[in-house]
Structure 1
Amino acid sequence: MFKALMTALYSIPAERMAEAKDWYSRAFNIKPYFEEPFYIGFNIAGYELGLLPKETGEAMEQTTGSMPVWGVENIAQTHKALLALGATELEAPSDVGGDILVSRLKDPFGNFLGLIQNPHFPNTNA
């Protein structure tokens, strides 16, 4: 049986792993707990954010596919802070009903980064 979604993985150009480590450290205000050339891991409120070097032939920028969505307390503030760090806005914070706010961005390395402020899921407002 499933327990929970535990890990969000982001593919990073190998030559930009140090830059990505710094960017995600600033974006989430936390240092990695694990760092090797093949993987950099962050513990975000008990969930894993992992940075992996891109495989040979892997697209440099994500254009389709899944998007990890991170629960935040204040979506407007977090969205603005990520833009200031160099993220690209795909969708400004918007109300999708039931007091749920969402936004979509791309990190400077071409990966999707979603945000959600959801009062109905207590763990997304930690």
Structure 2
Amino acid sequence: MIKGLRTAIYPVTDLTAGKAWYASVFNKAPYFDQPFYVGFEIGGFELGLIPDGTPGATGSKIFWGVEDIDAEVARIVALGAQVHAAVQDVGDGIKVAELLDPSGNVLGLIYNAHFDLQAVR
């Protein structure tokens, strides 16, 4: 039985720079920091960075929950991201945006008032 999202992994071209950038975005230090993998615990889920891969915007899309999507887009763009897809309402009050991190990976953001944190297992 699949129990839900656990880990999103992004390849980066510079692990040290990627680690610093994501630490700024999530305002959190990694809990696991090795030359082959850096892991951040984000709201019960994991964001992993790997140094051996090809960054890009064509792979899987992962969306991280936010309370104020417009404010978070502005904050993360100020940290060096680029807007890949502007904030849009996709229906029923759910809003999404896609940013490109400095390596070119998509960092998806979602505001979804219907998401039930109690259902996370």
Once residues 88 and 116 of structure 2 are traced to their aligned partners in structure 1, the CA distance between those partners, rounded to angstroms, is: 19
Deviations 1:11-69 (A, max 9, x none): 011xx1111111000000100001000000000011000000124xxx4x414121111
Helix, strand or coil for the counterpart of 1:96? Answer: strand
The sequence identity of aligned pairs, in percent, is 48
User: How large is the RMSD of aligned CA atoms in angstroms?
Assistant: 1.1
Which ranges in structure 2 are unaligned for 5 or more consecutive residues? none
Which ranges in structure 1 are unaligned for 5 or more consecutive residues? none
Q: 1:37-116 to 2 correspondence within 5 Å?
A: 37-55=35-53, 59=54, 61-116=55-110
- Give the letter for the 1:71 counterpart: G
Displacement of 1:122: 3.0
TM-score by length of 1: 0.88
Once residues 110 and 62 of structure 1 are traced to their aligned partners in structure 2, the CA distance between those partners, rounded to angstroms, is: 5
Helix, strand or coil for the counterpart of 1:27? Answer: helix
CA distance 1:103–1:63, shift in 2 (3 Å): closer
Helix, strand or coil for the counterpart of 2:91? Answer: coil
Aligned length: 117
- Give the letter for the 2:52 counterpart: K
TM-score by length of 2: 0.92
